[in-house]
Amino acid sequence: MNPSELPLVLITHTLPDDWLTSLEGKVNSKIGPTDATYFSPDLEAHLEQAEGLFTLLTIPVSDELLSKAPNLKVISNMAVGVDNIDLDACTRRGIPVGNTPGVLTEATADLTVSLLLASARRLFEANLDARKGLWTTWSPTGWLGYDLDGATLGIIGMGKIGKAVAQRAKGFGMDLIYYDPNRIPDFEISLSVRFSPLDQLLHTSDFVCLHVPLTPQTRHMISYDALRAMKPTATLVNTARGQIVNTEALVTALKEGWIAAAALDVTDPEPLPPNHPLFELPNCLIVPHIGSATRNTRRKMAELACQNLLAGLVGERLPHCANPEVYET
């Protein structure tokens, strides 16, 4: 078929060809730059004809953008989080939004545990000090960290990633508690994880990790009060979304010793400017939103995003839809 007869799909980023093979011969694609952080004007010029939109989490999709795309049948976000997209506006316009849960669970849980271990054992500071020539002897009191064995891990958000973290943490001998608006009795029994109200979890955990989506309810869930409630020896690990934590409050908490350390894969703003106060704190380990960044995982995310896209283009239900209410209207 002549490519111009195929449905027009805007792909906001240039991605490796072998991630998108299932689209070959099925769509006519227009592709944006490699590391796009906004909707490229070149693509915007085609919005009116576009039937599909393949997005990444750095691209905000607003109601205004949607108003320029009257023929859009589907948006497919190559991410599990969809906070970059105005979901209500999509639902009102009858546009299903696909996301990629499941395929990135293990990679993100691995990164969470990496951050947990790295901050417990102060790897960031120890590495900096070794490079600075401060490793002058085997110091009996140098770079003392915390044990995971026997420590309490408080998991906020017990979805797929929270559960995968719990399974890994059990292997390190940690005592597990969790907070989630929905209790999960079977999981509590199978892994001896105890439910805890949020304020109690913050008071009792040695490590707190976040696995909730960013919503109006979870924005700044880790506030000044929440950080003040934590133990001075506690560590906060965030591999979810930066805005779940009030950044100013976190800077204060780390500087004033309300908590011992933080390890962040996500920040607010994101990326953090190089002169941001968090970068000056040796007790804050920061990595650039790499939770799902393994070769296999990113390829699987792209493949699932292609499946969602193709289903939406032919009017089928998306395998993973973030706004299922769209099918009720």
Cα–Cα–Cα angle for 266, 271, 279, rounded to 5 degrees: 80
- Nearest Cα to 312, choosing from 324, 301, 300? 324
Nearer to ligand GLV, 213 or 277 (CB): 213
Distance separating alpha carbons of residues 70 and 319, to the nearest angstrom: 23
Write the DSSP string, 58-88.
Answer: TS-B-HHHHHT-TT--EEEESSS--TTB-HH
Please report how close the Cβ of residue 126 comes to ligand GLV at its closest, in angstroms: 28
Query: Which residue, among 162, 163, 161, 195, has the nearest Cα to 177 in the 3D structure?
Result: 195
Which tokens is 139 given?
Answer: 């110091």
With the C-alpha atoms ordered 34, 37, 42, 45, is the resulting torsion angle positive or negative?
positive
For the bound state, the minimum distance from the C-beta of residue 210 to ligand GLV, rounded and expressed in Å, comes to 12
Residue whose CB is less far from ligand GLV, 205 or 297:
297
- Residues assigned a catalytic role: 241, 270, 289
Supply the minimum distance, in Å, between the C-beta of residue 292 and ligand GLV. Answer: 5
Q: How far is the CB of 78 from ligand GLV (least distance, A)?
A: 7
Binding residues (CB under 6 A) for ligand GLV: these are 57, 79-81, 104, 291-292
The three-class DSSP label of residue 38 is coil
Where would I find the H helices in the chain? 41-44, 63-67, 87-92, 105-120, 123-131, 160-171, 185-191, 198-204, 224-229, 247-255, 295-313
- DSSP category for residue 44: H
Single-letter amino acid code for the residue at 259: I
CB of 228 to ligand GLV, least distance (A): 28
DSSP string for 200-263:
HHHHH-SEEEE-----TTTTT-B-HHHHHHS-TT-EEEE-S-GGGB-HHHHHHHHHTTSSSEEE
Measured between alpha carbons, how far is 98 from 270 in angstroms, rounded to an integer?
23
